[in-house]
Amino acid sequence: MNEMKKLGLSLILIGSILGCSQRSQPIPESASTPQPKPATVAIDPATAGSIAGVVDFKGAVPKLPSLDMTADPGCPQKPQPSDTAVVNKGKLANVFVYVKEGLPQGSFAVPSDPVVLDQKGCRYIPHVMGIMVGQPFKILNTDTADHNIHNMPRNNPQWNETQFPTDKPIIKTFTNPEMMLPLQCNQHPWMRAYVNVMPNPYYAVSGEDGSFAINNLPPGEYTLVAVHEKFGEKTMKVKVDAKGTAKADFVFTP
């Protein structure tokens, strides 16, 4: 009976079919009751500013074992680099940077454009991403391999769905904010991505050159956080002036 209740809750929450029976973690019981929606925050383009910076990596880059995908003929048959610590010329990619404190009270407009996750070369592209609560999450399989995408949430409904190469995109949404929510593939244990589900649009992911930018911020003082799956978390206070760009460079170490 309890299982049925959980299943019903899951169906209501995600509004779609639970695609697969392999559910290794329980769905959280504590679905919060809907609250009245707070007023949408209006950003004045005449004063909005930005935060921009670069994430450096200082020290020896850990040598991570390459990924052996040869068990599946639909995957690359040569060793592939790990995506856990991507450092190029001292710059660290895949750092999720977000405004943790200082934003105006209220809700923020949710983009109708989806965040797209591709399964390509038997890895997730991108490896780290942000998405707003309620924003469509579009999952593609552009490989010739079968994939099985499985989220591992602490604060959102769980799903676990097979996607064959010819299948149409899977569309999901997330109902609650959650940092570094892992995605994994039941077919390919090396596949891993992290989704950051945000209540606002003030986040970015450092690129291959370590750079990131967060735009359209009202002037103010903010607490900025940078988080990496292996190298931890850094916090910084920044002040954004009207029409200004606050500099925020981070340094991570092994």
Could you give the CA distance from residue 37 to residue 40 in angstroms, rounded to a whole number?
Answer: 8
Closest alpha carbon to 76 in 183, 191, 182? 191
Specify the residue, 192 or 228, whose C-beta has the smaller distance to Cu ion.
192
193 binds Cu ion (CB under 5 A): no
In the set 147, 150, 172, 192, which binds Cu ion (CB under 5 A)? Answer: 147
In the set 14, 27, 95, 185, which binds Cu ion (CB under 5 A)? Answer: 185
192 binds Cu ion (CB under 5 A): no
200 binds Cu ion (CB under 5 A): no
Closest alpha carbon to 95 in 127, 121, 137, 61? 127
Closest alpha carbon to 164 in 142, 196, 180? 142
Could you give the CA distance from residue 98 to residue 212 in angstroms, rounded to a whole number?
Answer: 10
Provide the 3-class DSSP secondary structure of residue 109. coil
In the set 158, 187, 196, 200, which binds Cu ion (CB under 5 A)? Answer: 187
Interface with Cu ion by CB under 5 A: which range of 3-11, 99-107, 145-153, 232-240? 145-153
198 binds Cu ion (CB under 5 A): no
> How far apart are CB 62 and Cu ion at their closest, in Å?
24
Could you give the CA distance from residue 116 to residue 129 in angstroms, rounded to a whole number?
Answer: 9
In the set 91, 123, 172, 188, which binds Cu ion (CB under 5 A)? Answer: 188
Instruction: Enumerate binding residues for Cu ion (CB under 5 A).
Output: 147, 185, 187-188, 191
